[in-house]
Amino acid sequence: MTTTVVVHPTRQGLADTAAARLVVALVDAQSARGEAHVSMTGGSMGSQLVSSLTRVPARDAVDWSRVHVWWGDERYLPAGDPDRNDTQNDEAGLSALGLDPATVHRVPGPDASASAEASARAYEATLRAHGGGAFDVMVLGVGPDGHVASLFPHHPAAASRDAIAIAVHDSPKPPPTRVSLTRECLERSREVWFLVSGADKADAVRRGVRGAPFETTPAAHVHGQERTLWLLDVDAAGDLGG
């Protein structure tokens, strides 16, 4: 397993390059296994990545009808809520890619589940029916506090084991109720890509890349089975030194 840091001059360049990488990774996965599984992220970079994906010249090399889309976490809000990660990805152009809605696996919100726990169980059951969360590529953002998906520093839910997906209550970042993949699940992917932009993330990136304790920096302890990439813009890389 290797960890690589790649620094891009601009945020747009970061998103465009990550989108091109993702197209190639999906083509490779489909050629090796017939279908591809990617876990997307919300937050600032999630939608920018989707927007860039819609403009990658080679995107037609992917058979989008055989791409399974998942999310590493979701804000527990009704379908279509503008604060949901999937809604924001949709608005950035996800539907323009030619995906089959049956292979876009959304986390149920309060309109489709009795509780965040029930939502996590339903999402976990869907994941178990499709390989248990061993994605080809897991795309993750990182918060300024070092959180990843909805695993927050010093939050008891972050330490959950023996599950694939969990309910998260009292999130320090709104909305307070979320559903997240667990640390165990996040580590099952072939490749983990952190996409991080902005000077406000520079300290979290430094801690993540240098391996700070899980309790303070959950992002530091998520690795791909084959490869971990920290894809940064120059501002997010600002505290890494030469």
| Minimum distance from residue 52 beta carbon to ligand LXAUTJHC (Å) | 15
Nearer to ligand LXAUTJHC, 30 or 191 (CB): 191
Nearer to ligand LXAUTJHC, 17 or 35 (CB): 17
Nearer to ligand LXAUTJHC, 29 or 45 (CB): 45
Spatial strand order of the sheet with 2-8 comes to 2-8, 227-233, 191-196, 137-140, 36-40, 67-71
For residues 93 to 132, the per-residue mask of contacts with ligand LXAUTJHC, x marking binding by CB under 6 A and - elsewhere, is ----------------------------------------
| Minimum distance from residue 43 beta carbon to ligand LXAUTJHC (Å) | 2
How many CB atoms are closer than 10 A to CB 214?
17
**Bond preceding residue 175 cis, omega within 30 of 0:** yes
The structure tokens 């279509």 sit at 80
Nearer to ligand LXAUTJHC, 42 or 133 (CB): 42
Alpha carbons 175 and 186: distance in angstroms, whole number = 21
Alpha carbons 160 and 182: distance in angstroms, whole number = 7
- CB-based contacts of 196, cutoff 8 Å, min separation 6: 45, 141, 142, 204, 205, 230, 231, 232, 233, 236
**Number of residues engaging ligand LXAUTJHC in binding (CB under 6 A):** 13
Is 141 near ligand LXAUTJHC (CB under 6 A)? Answer: yes
Nearer to ligand LXAUTJHC, 30 or 127 (CB): 127
Alpha carbons 79 and 88: distance in angstroms, whole number = 11
For residues 12 to 51, the per-residue mask of contacts with ligand LXAUTJHC, x marking binding by CB under 6 A and - elsewhere, is -----------------------------xxxxx------
| Minimum distance from residue 180 beta carbon to ligand LXAUTJHC (Å) | 8
Helix (H, G, I), strand (E, B), or coil: what is residue 74? strand
Query: What is the phi/psi pair of residue 20, to 5°?
Result: -65, -40
Instruction: Report whether 208 contacts 142 (CB < 8 A).
Output: yes
Query: What is the phi/psi pair of residue 107, to 5°?
Result: -80, 125
Q: Which of residues 174-233 bind ligand LXAUTJHC (CB under 6 A)?
A: none
Q: Which of residues 154-183 bind ligand LXAUTJHC (CB under 6 A)?
A: 173
List of residues contacting ligand LXAUTJHC (CB under 6 A): 41-45, 73, 85, 140-141, 143, 149-150, 173
